[in-house]
Structures are given as C-alpha cells and as structure tokens.
C-alpha cells in the first residue's frame, strides 16, 4: 500500500524526499559497480519484472489475496544497489503514471519500500548466509527470513515517519502494534513467495542469484549415455 | 505486439495542456500538490477551490470527467483507511448520525480524503495529457540522473512485454487445469515468478547486446529535445500560481 499525498505533512515529506534522493544516489554508484554498462537495460527489465510480479495475486484464503512487494526479492536476485534502483523506479512510475502513491509522498514511499526493505532484508540475508551452511536450502531459508523481516521493518519505519509528521492524532503505540501485527502476517506471505521464487531461480540459473553467487557455482554439465526408451 | 505504442493512460487530444513541455507540467503538478498538502485542513473552502482549479485544467485539456473519476479508484484502499480514522483516533468525541466518533479523527479522515484525492486527480491529469515517453524526457530535462531515467525508460518500454509474458504463463497454467484457490497454490505461482524473472533478466541481457552492437556507450541518444519558452513556463505556472493564492488565503485565515 502506497502512502498518498497529505498523509504525512509537508516538512517531513520534503525531508524524506532528501533522504530518498541521497539513498538513490548511493544506489546509482553501487549499481554501476554491480552491473557496469549493462545497468540500464538489466535494471530496467528487472524493474519491469517487479512491476509485473506485483500484479500477480496470491490467494490466501476464501476470497482474500495478497501480492508481492518485491524489495527483498529484488535485492537478493540482482544485488542491493540495483534492487533499490529497481523498486524506486517502479514507485516513481506508479506515482507519475498510475497516481498510485502521492507525488509529494514519493520520498516517503522510496524510503519505506525501497531503502528500508532492502537494507533490512538484504542485511539479514547476508548475515544469515555467513553462519549457515553453503547450500541451496540455506539460501532459501535465508531468503524466507529476509523477506519476512523486510515487511515489518518497513511498517516500523512508517510508524516512525508517522510519529514525526503524521496528520492524524492516532495514538502511536496503538498504531505501531496494529501496523506491526498486520505486516508480520503480510511478511509471512512475502517470505513464502520470495523463498520459493529464489529457490526456483537457484535451480535453473544459480549464477543469477546475486546474493548467493559466490556460494553456489554454475552446475557442471554432465554427459550421460542415453537411456534406451522403455517399450 | 501489433498494438500502438501509445500508452493506455494517455488520452490523445489537441489541447494547450497536451502541448505544454513535459518538464513544465511536472514542476507545476509537484508545486500544486505540495501547496495542497501544506494547506490547513480546517479551511474547507480552499480544497473546494483546488478542485475547481483541477476541473478547469481537465476542461481545457478536454479530458472527460468520467475518465478521471473512474481512475481515482486507485485510492480505494486509502479511503478505507480514512474511514477508520474517526473510530480509532483519540481526542474529544462527538456524535454524528448516532455514532460516537473522535472529532480529530473526523478531521483526519477529511484531511486524507481531500488531499489524497486532489493529488490523485492531479497525477491522473498529468498522465492523461503527457505521453509516458515525454514524461521521462521531462524528468531528464529536470536534471534527474540519466541512469535513472534510462532505467525508467526500459521499464516502461518492456513493462507491457513482461506483463504479457505473465499473461501467457497464466493461460498456460489454466489450460493445464490449474486454479489458484488457496495458499497451497503459492508453490506453483512463485515458480512462475521465478521463471518470469529469468525471462526478464535474460531478455535484458539480449537487449544489452543488441544495444552494444548498435554502438551503445552508456548514454542514450537524444532523439527529440523538448525546450520550453518563457511563455510555456508561465502557462504551466498558472495552476500553481492560482493554488498559491488559495493557499496564501488559507494560511492568513480567511
């Protein structure tokens, strides 16, 4: 859910815009390191992927469904800097073209959904991989944990921004409890989708999972004698 | 694939608003939205005035009213949130239609609805009067880092391709008898997401190679430049200038 205009007051919106601009500037430098001159097409196509993946609805139970947010997934698949860029560009296009999320709240949305999710998710992911054994199950488990934490982390950051510049006097303690409660549930869904997605990419192109690229090499080509068909 | 390259959100009309350079419109919308957000919520007349300003822009741009209203559906989740406000906010309580509601919560709900809706309508008008390609060109003119506008350009250009890929996967799943009923479908759907990522990323690799073989060196050639004259800037400034008058009136407590 994107923060619209008028939800956060003007000074805090502008402040968040500055933080977002700084974060995106750092990500731009980092992405050039991750992808060099391939940055624009690859990050662009990944952004298109995140955008399309958000349109896929996952049924939860009778009638309700949720969709992917994709911050942690993008960071694990293409790297943290490129991940921040992809999600930021998706948010920019959504705000300008689809009126989804306010133009004045774009900074807030980038901070919450691109920067915080990637920092929390990817940070935890790399931390876990340091202590876990180096195999596919561990990478899948770490992706689950990363996505699970990234969503409530974003909700906590929202509560913080709301405490600074919220326009309604909702008790902050209550808001924090409600936001975290709901977003832990959303996080479980996000974690499930992220983990299965990462695991399925690992099976086919392990070299494309940026977060685990040095753990798992390319599968070696095995040549076998053809098995005669059973009649 | 055979469809036109005009985005479905863009409404092609011959109007002064359509002809304005994109960066002028971007600055105007941003200034307008910031002024709306900074307006004290107690001045209800100010928001009515803002709505009239937007209606005037829509009329000049010949964007049908119904189209704008239909597209505001995007803010439905927030309307739900706003309607909750009077029940959860603290502060003095009043009785409205027999319901025991928080007074400040009512104000907040009004605040979110009014400012949110005005912002949504402003963005809808921007997208309806400006081709997406030109919007990105406008961002470029406003000194947004080139790499960022390039990524956004690729995202727009291939967004429909990737979405169509997702659609074909859905058809493929459905024709094999798959139906997403509950949480047990996650495995299948998430594998589709994984496959979609691989196809998108590998398409990106091919696009990059195709670009390199045509002389790409990290910068995109500028095909059409959109300069703005002083006259165009002042035409675009009409909306935020009028909004500034309204906002100034609201701050001074009329």
ipTM of the complex: 0.82
* Number of domains chain A contains: 1
Q: How far apart are CA B136 and CA B156, in angstroms?
A: 10
**CATH value at residue A176:** 1.10.1760.20
pLDDT band of residue B11 (cuts 50, 70, 90) is confident
- Average pLDDT estimate for B156-180: 89
Query: What's the length of chain B?
Result: 254
Contact by Cβ (8 Å): A119, A111: no
Distance from CA of A38 to the nearest CA of B (A): 6
- Using a CB-CB cut-off of 8 Å, the residues of chain A touching B209 are none
Question: Would an 8 Å CB–CB cutoff place B69 in contact with chain A?
Answer: no
Q: Would A1 be classed as within a structural domain?
A: no
If you count DSSP H runs as helices and E runs as strands, how many of each does chain B have, helices first?
A: 10, 2
Q: How far apart are CA B120 and CA A102, in angstroms?
A: 7
Q: Would A218 be classed as within a structural domain?
A: no
Kindly state the helix (H) or strand (E) to which residue A189 belongs, with its residue range.
helix A172-204
Nearest in space to B153 (alpha carbons), one of B130, B127, B132 = B132
Closest CB from A6, A51, A99 relative to B127: A99
Residue that is written with structure tokens 């759907």 in the block: B189
Question: What are the boundaries of each domain within chain B?
Answer: 16-138+227-251, 145-212
**CB B162 to CB A49 under 8 A?**
yes
Q: Would A220 be classed as within a structural domain?
A: no
- Average pLDDT estimate for A191-200: 89
Q: In this model, does residue B220 exceed pLDDT 80?
A: no
- Average pLDDT estimate for A17-36: 87
Q: Would A50 be classed as within a structural domain?
A: yes
Q: Would A79 be classed as within a structural domain?
A: yes
**CB B127 to CB A96 under 8 A?**
yes
pLDDT in tens, A93-148: 888 887 777 788 888 889 988 999 999 999 999 999 888 887 888 889 999 999 99
Distance from CA of B20 to the nearest CA of A (A): 16
Residue that is written with structure tokens 């000049």 in the block: B60
Q: How far apart are CA A51 and CA A69, in angstroms?
A: 9
**DSSP per position, B135-184:** HHHHHHHTT--HHHHHHHHHHHHHHHHHHHHHHHHHHHHHHTT----SGG
Q: Would A24 be classed as within a structural domain?
A: yes
Q: How far apart are CA A52 and CA A117, in angstroms?
A: 19
- Give the range among A70-79, B98-107, B203-212 with minimum mean pLDDT: B98-107
Domain assignment of residue A94, given as a range: 10-212
Secondary structure class of B40 (helix, strand, coil): coil
- Which of A14-28, B2-16, B112-126, B171-185 has maximum average pLDDT? A14-28
């Amino acid at each position: 859910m994107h923060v619209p205009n008028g939800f956060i007051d003007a000074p805090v919106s502008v402040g968040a815009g500055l933080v977002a601009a700084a974060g995106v500037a750092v990500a731009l430098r980092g992405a050039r390191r991750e992808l060099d001159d391939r940055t624009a097409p690859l990050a662009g196509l990944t952004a298109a992927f995140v955008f399309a993946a958000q349109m896929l609805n996952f049924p939860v139970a009778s009638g309700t469904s949720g969709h992917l947010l994709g911050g942690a997934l993008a960071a694990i698949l293409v790297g943290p800097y490129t991940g921040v860029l992809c999600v930021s560009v998706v948010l920019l296009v959504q705000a300008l073209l689809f009126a989804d999320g306010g133009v004045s709240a774009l900074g807030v949305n980038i901070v919450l959904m691109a920067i915080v999710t990637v920092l929390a998710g990817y940070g935890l992911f790399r931390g876990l991989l340091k202590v876990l054994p180096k195999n596919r199950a561990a990478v899948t488990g770490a992706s689950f944990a990363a996505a699970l934490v990234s969503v409530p982390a974003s909700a906590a950051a929202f509560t913080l921004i709301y405490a600074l510049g919220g326009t309604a006097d909702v008790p902050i303690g209550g808001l924090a409890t409600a936001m975290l409660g709901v977003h832990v549930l959303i996080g479980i869904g996000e974690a499930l989708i992220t983990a299965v997605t990462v695991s399925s990419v690992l099976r086919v192109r392990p070299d494309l999972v940026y977060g685990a690229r040095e753990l798992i090499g390319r599968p070696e080509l095995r040549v076998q004698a053809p098995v005669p068909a059973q009649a | 694939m055979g469809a036109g390259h005009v985005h479905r959100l863009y409404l092609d009309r011959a109007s002064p608003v359509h002809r304005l350079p994109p960066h002028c419109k971007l600055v105007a919308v941003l200034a307008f939205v910031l002024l709306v957000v900074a307006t004290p919520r107690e001045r209800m007349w100010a928001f009515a005035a803002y709505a009239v300003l937007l209606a005037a822009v829509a009329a000049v741009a010949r964007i049908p009213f119904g189209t704008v209203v239909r597209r505001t559906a995007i803010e439905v989740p927030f309307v739900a949130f706003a309607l909750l406000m009077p029940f959860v906010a603290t502060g003095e309580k009043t009785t409205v239609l027999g319901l025991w509601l928080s007074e400040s919560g009512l104000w907040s709900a009004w605040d979110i609805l009014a400012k949110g809706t005005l912002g949504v309508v402003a963005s809808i008008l921007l997208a309806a009067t400006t081709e997406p390609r030109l919007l990105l060109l406008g961002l470029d003119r406003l000194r947004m880092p080139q790499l960022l506008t390039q990524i956004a350009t690729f995202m727009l250009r291939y967004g429909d391709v990737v979405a169509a890929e997702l659609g074909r996967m859905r058809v493929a799943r459905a024709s094999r008898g798959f139906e997403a009923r509950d949480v047990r479908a996650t495995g299948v759907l998430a594998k589709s997401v994984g496959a979609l990522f691989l196809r998108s990323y590998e398409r990106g690799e091919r696009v990059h190679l195709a670009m390199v073989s045509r002389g790409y060196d990290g910068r995109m050639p500028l095909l059409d430049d959109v300069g703005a004259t002083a006259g165009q800037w002042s035409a675009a400034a009409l909306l935020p200038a009028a909004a500034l008058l309204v906002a100034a009136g609201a701050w001074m407590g009329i």
